[in-house]
Amino acid sequence: MRRVFFLLLFPFVAPLRAEDRDPAHGIIFCSYNVKNYLGPDQASAVRKTKPKPEREIEALIKVIAEIHPDVIGVCEMGSPAAFADFKSRLEKAGLVFADSEYVQGEDEDRHLALLSRFPIVHRDSAPKVRYPLNGTQQSVKRGFLDVTVQITPRYELRCVGTHLKSKLPAPEGEALIRRHEAAKLREHLDAILKENPAANLLCYGDFNDAKNQPMFSEITGVRGSPNHMTDLAARDAHGDRWTHHWPVADEYSRIDYLFASSGLLPEVKRETATVYRSDFWEVASDHRPVFVTIIPVEKRR
């Protein structure tokens, strides 16, 4: 009975299939931490890794198929074999992507990846990013994914994906590591915007920190400045913004974000920035996907 009531209040209207959407009228970009999409080739008792259970994979593919994104950036993708499996399952579910990017960072198990219905015309990912900390050189474990997608003949979308340090304890201090990683990401974004201040730049991913932490101000930058990145502040049908559930503490938090540059912001339908609420989200992952609609507007040169 409760479910019927929910559906009456918030009816789910499935978006048009990606292949049926005219890019000029809007494309859907989705960011999703897919929670340990590890393949059998990654099983290791030493690192305590094991393949993602079939039940979780089936739920995950179902969630993505309901959103039917044109471009999807994911965190915690496993080995190249696991990524191939992921793409194959999506294709069987009716989601066909023309191009992809996979970043082999220094994390042995979990990686960044992206799938696009449109061709990737530039690849500027940074798998090895280092910074000094306590007299030693540290690495951004997952690196940064950076691709430019050709949405229309005269419209490009630059996508920069990240998965910052988790909240698991580290000798150097996990919060300090995360802040350094965020600073390196900001340097990466600034370099892009220095070269092209009008770039259609979208930064996304799992930032593993709340809005009131240094990470957030590091990424957004100075409000009103040319390089400011705007938080798209996605929410679900109930108005809830949380994207992650930590079962150990039974804690719900917003740690997955979409940030848009000033060049991209006018083309973002901000009211469509959504944290997707699914009946089986918790089976698929400990995160919920975040997506938004972008309407390409070809700028005069």
Report if residue 10 sits inside a domain: no
CATH number at residue 77: 3.60.10.10
Report if residue 16 sits inside a domain: no
Specify the long-range contacts of residues 47-51, CB closer than 8 Å, at least 24 apart.
47/108, 47/109, 49/109
Report if residue 18 sits inside a domain: no
205-246 pLDDT, tens digit per residue, is: 999 999 999 999 999 999 999 999 999 999 999 999 999 999
Report if residue 224 sits inside a domain: yes
97-119 pLDDT, tens digit per residue, is: 999 999 999 999 999 999 999 99
Cα of 93 vs its chain's centroid, Å: 21
- The answer to whether residues 113 and 145 touch, using CB atoms and an 8 Å cutoff, is yes
156: which residues sit within 8 A by CB, 6+ positions away?
121, 148, 149, 150, 200
Report if residue 74 sits inside a domain: yes
Report if residue 190 sits inside a domain: yes
Instruction: Residue 85: give the domain boundaries.
Output: 27-294
pTM of the model: 0.92
Report if residue 2 sits inside a domain: no
Report if residue 299 sits inside a domain: no
Vertex 141: Cα angle to 136 and 142 (nearest 5): 155
Count of H-run helices and E-run strands, the chain = 6, 16
Domains identified in the chain, total number:
1
| CA distance linking residue 242 with residue 40, whole number of Å | 31
